Amino acid sequence: MAIDYGKLLDFDIPEVRQTLTKRDTAFYALSIGFGQDPMDTRQLAFVDHRRDLEAVPSMAVVLCHPGFWLRDPRTGVDAVRVVHGEQEIELHRALPVEGALAGLTRVTGIVDKGAGKGALLYSEKQVRDRDGALVATTRSTTFLRGDGGFGGPAGPIKAPHPMPDGPPDLTVDLATRPEQALYYRLNGDDNPLHSDPGVAAKAGFPRPILHGLCTLGVVTHALLRGLADYRARALRTLKLRFSAPVFPGETIRTEIWQSGAFRARVVERDTVVVNNGFVEIGSK
C-alpha cells in the first residue's frame, strides 16, 4: 500500500491524556541513564521520587506520547523501515513532575525524496497542563525509508544547524546499558525495532538499536552536565539530527561548543550518531 499524500497529511492522531506521577518522571530519568554514578548527588534530584524531584527536559518527547501510530496500515507507511531523523524541543515552562497533561500530535508536512530514496514526515506535538497552558512543543522529522516515489512534493527540507569549525570546548562521555532499550520502550515507544532481533534484521540492522529519543535523552544529560551544572530549568530549546544508530551498551561521547552547538559519537566505533545539534541554555 503506497502513501496517499493527502490522507497521511490529515491523518487523525487522537489526543492523549496522561496523569503523570513522580514515579513516571523518575523512571524516565533512569531509562536514559541517570543514576549510573551512585556518588553523583546532583543526579539524585532526577531519580529519587521521594526528594524534591526535577524533570529531565527531554522528557517532553515521551509526555502524552501517541505511540507508534505509523504502523497503522491506513497510513500506507512501511513501518519496519521507519527511523527517527530529527528532533526539536521547545520548553515554554519547566516540565511538571506530576499532574494531568494532554498532548495533541499532528502531521505538519511530508516530503517525497523520490523512488528508492524514501520520504520525510514532519510532525508536531503540543503538551498542555490541566489548565490548558502550553508546557512544551516538540517537533520531529521521521525518515520513511521505504516510502519514496508516491508523487508528493519534493520540499521544503529543513536546513540543519551549522556546525562550528575547530575542536569542541568540552566533551562528556556517558555509557549506555545492554538492556537500556528494553527499559526505554516502557515510556511508550514500543517499536519492535528496539527489542526484536528479527524485526531489526528486516530493517537492515544486525541487532536491535537504541531508540533515537533515548540517544536524545543521553545527550541531554551530557548537555545539562557540561553547560548547566544539572540546572534543568535552564534548558530552553534543543534541536538535533540523528545521523547513525546507537547499539545498546555503547558509549556516547557528546562534543559541545560554548556557542550551544553539539554533536555526539559512539566511542567504540568512532561514528557520529547525532549531528547539527544546538541547545539554548538560560540563566535559571
Alpha helices (H) along the chain:
5-9, 22-31, 41-47, 180-184, 197-202, 212-228
All 3 cell numbers of residue 39? 556518588
Query: Annotated catalytic, 84?
Result: no
User: Which is catalytic among the residues 24, 65, 112, 194?
Assistant: 194
User: Which is catalytic among the residues 78, 112, 147, 189?
Assistant: 189
Chain centroid to CA 181: how far?
A: 13
DSSP secondary structure, 247-283, as one string: -TTPEEEEEE-TTSEEEEEETTTTEEEEEEEEEEE--
Query: Annotated catalytic, 165?
Result: no
Q: Cα separation of 108 and 153, whole Å?
A: 13
Check if the beta carbon of residue 210 is closer than 8 Å to that of residue 249: no
Q: Cα separation of 66 and 222, whole Å?
A: 27
Check if the beta carbon of residue 63 is closer than 8 Å to that of residue 136: yes
For the chain, how long is the longest CA-to-CA vector?
A: 56
DSSP secondary structure, 143-161, as one string: EETT---SS------PPPP
Check if the beta carbon of residue 247 is closer than 8 Å to that of residue 283: no
Which positions are catalytic?
189, 194
